[in-house]
């Protein structure tokens, strides 16, 4: 059974748990505490030199890092990827948007405000307004798309929606963002949560 | 002919020009000046609500953003993607690594030091050591991989190498990074530059 090196409050790890459950792939979870430093120790770095979870490790010892690469790999050839080459490109467009323009602001501000450590939040207090501004900019890009589309790619629920849902649905934690400002996002989250075999974070 | 909305000094745009040339796909270039603000104007935002280049626009009006999604789309089904599902996942692992752990530090420090505007570089002077530290961390991850492998995925030149080459090869601009500290990266760049139909930035 594959081992998911996992942090419970990590949206990136949740992406893998959610799509694996919907695909019917059982996972063994190896838990890491937030801020424990365990992913920067030599035994972990031997598996992922970039020192991050999620990391999905298979019985033969092979391992894959980067949440969006893992969920792309798991869904290749399944109904969770769009059917056409164009729409697969658009799905990846949104997944790269998520990692470049969304996660570094939406997830990081939520982490600082809701999951500490307090010393880091204090030390980075000057950065918080910029994180809020850029996170809201990403949420507005999503809102613009969702005002006219039910899903992010291919006209149906896909791996791109999983990638964007992970840190959007918990963006209010710690008072980081107000999702009531984004009605189309709220409706999309309800549609996503009504999908078969949905599991909460 | 597809229109590439392009900025000359942007490594993200160069990725698209390089792989399109190697695929034999001619592009019309629509040039944008660095720091001109033109990508944040309504006519551009109508094409890409995220306000960034590269954007690849097709004759039928459809457009794709995010450099790594564009080059993945262009190379699907070609020799520039690995042959197995696993290796395609690993290629994407490195491409997400590039956008999350490499570009925000390696590309941003080079931009601030070599391509101004000076007021922004001054205003962000306190951030520069952190950008250098994290950029060097990303280069060390690449060096570790390349000390044992010629290429990033599937044992041959692929779209993953293009993604990582774009901002690595110009990382010394403005004195941002010293590539002589990374001998395996330097050898990999030489291999890449010897590929058929290679074009410089």
B130 Cβ partners below 8 Å, 6+ apart? none
pLDDT at B116: 81
A23 reaches B (C-beta below 8 A): no
Domain assignment of residue A201, yes or no: no
pLDDT at B35: 78
B62 reaches A (C-beta below 8 A): yes
Considering only the beta carbons, identify the residue of A49, A62, A73 that sits closest to B85. Answer: A73
**Are A107 and A166 found together in one domain?**
yes
Q: How far apart are CA A139 and CA A133, in angstroms?
A: 10
Tell which of B53, B100, B123 to mutate to test the A interface (max A CBs under 10 Å).
B100
CA B182 to chain CA centroid, Å, is 19
Domain assignment of residue A8, yes or no: yes
**Are A24 and A93 found together in one domain?**
no
Domain assignment of residue B139, yes or no: yes
Please judge whether B96 and A68 are an interchain contact, meaning their C-beta atoms are less than 8 angstroms apart.
yes
Regions of chain B where pLDDT drops below 50: none
pLDDT at B200: 98
Q: What is the average pLDDT value for chain A, to the nearest integer?
A: 97
pLDDT at A28: 98
Q: How far apart are CA B72 and CA B19, in angstroms?
A: 10
Total number of domains constituting chain A = 2
Please judge whether B89 and A76 are an interchain contact, meaning their C-beta atoms are less than 8 angstroms apart.
yes
- pTM score, whole prediction: 0.98
Q: How far apart are CA B104 and CA B115, in angstroms?
A: 15
Q: 10 Å Cβ neighbour count for A34?
A: 12
Contact list in B for residue A144 (CB cut-off 8 A) is 49
Considering only the beta carbons, identify the residue of B50, B69, B97 that sits closest to A101. Answer: B50
**Are B71 and B91 found together in one domain?**
no
Q: What are the CA-CA distances from residue A139 to residues A13, A29, A165, B102 (Å)?
A: 21, 31, 11, 24
pLDDT at A36: 85
**A61-70, A99-108, B28-37, B62-71: range with lowest mean pLDDT:** B28-37
Domain assignment of residue B49, yes or no: yes
**Are B62 and B124 found together in one domain?**
no
**Are B91 and B8 found together in one domain?**
no
Contact list in A for residue B65 (CB cut-off 8 A) is 93, 97
- Using pLDDT thresholds of 50, 70 and 90, give the confidence band for residue A57: very high
Domain boundary among B75, B101, B117: B75
**A32-36, A69-73, B125-129, B143-147: range with lowest mean pLDDT:** A32-36
SS3 B110: helix
Domain assignment of residue B52, yes or no: yes
Domain boundary among B52, B75, B98: B75
Please judge whether A69 and B86 are an interchain contact, meaning their C-beta atoms are less than 8 angstroms apart.
no
- Interface subset of A 84-123, CB within 8 angstroms of B: 85-86, 88-90, 92-93, 95-97, 99-101, 103-104
**Are B42 and B126 found together in one domain?**
no
- Owning domain of residue A168: 85-193
B50-106 confidence digits (pLDDT tens): 999 999 999 999 999 999 999 999 999 999 999 999 999 999 999 999 999 999 999
**Are B125 and B187 found together in one domain?**
yes
Domain assignment of residue B80, yes or no: no
Q: How far apart are CA A106 and CA A129, in angstroms?
A: 12
Q: How far apart are CA A124 and CA A122, in angstroms?
A: 5
pLDDT at A117: 87
Domain boundary among A75, A96, A114: A75
**Are A107 and A186 found together in one domain?**
yes
CATH number at residue A34: 3.40.30.10
Whole-number CA gyration radius for chain A: 17
Whole-number CA gyration radius for chain B: 17
Q: How far apart are CA B191 and CA B162, in angstroms?
A: 12
**Are A69 and A95 found together in one domain?**
no
**Are A97 and A55 found together in one domain?**
no
Give the closest-approach CA distance of A45 to chain B in angstroms.
10
Of the candidates B151, B112, B156, B98, the one whose C-alpha atom is nearest the C-alpha of residue B9 is: B112
pLDDT at A166: 98
Domain assignment of residue B200, yes or no: no
SS3 A38: helix
CATH number at residue B182: 1.20.1050.10
Q: How far apart are CA B14 and CA B86, in angstroms?
A: 27
Domain assignment of residue A80, yes or no: no
């Amino acid at each position: 059974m594959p081992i998911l090196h996992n942090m419970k409050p990590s949206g990136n790890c949740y992406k893998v748990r959610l799509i694996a459950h919907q695909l019917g792939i059982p996972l063994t979870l190896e838990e890491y505490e937030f801020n424990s430093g365990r992913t920067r120790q030599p035994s972990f770095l031997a598996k992922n030199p970039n020192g991050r979870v999620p990391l999905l490790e298979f019985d033969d010892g092979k391992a894959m890092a980067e949440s969006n690469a893992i969920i792309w790999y798991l869904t290749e050839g399944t109904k969770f990827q769009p059917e056409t080459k164009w729409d697969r490109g658009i799905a990846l467009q949104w997944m790269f948007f998520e990692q470049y323009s969304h996660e570094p602001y939406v997830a990081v501000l939520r982490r600082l405000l809701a999951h500490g450590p307090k010393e880091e939040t204090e030390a980075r207090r000057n950065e918080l307004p910029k994180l809020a501004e850029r996170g809201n900019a990403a949420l507005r890009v999503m809102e613009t798309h969702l005002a006219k589309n039910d899903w992010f790619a291919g006209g149906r629920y896909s791996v791109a929606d999983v990638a964007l849902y992970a840190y959007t649905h918990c963006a209010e934690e710690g008072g980081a963002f107000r999702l009531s400002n984004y009605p189309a996002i709220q409706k999309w989250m309800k549609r996503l949560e009504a999908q078969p075999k949905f599991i909460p974070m």
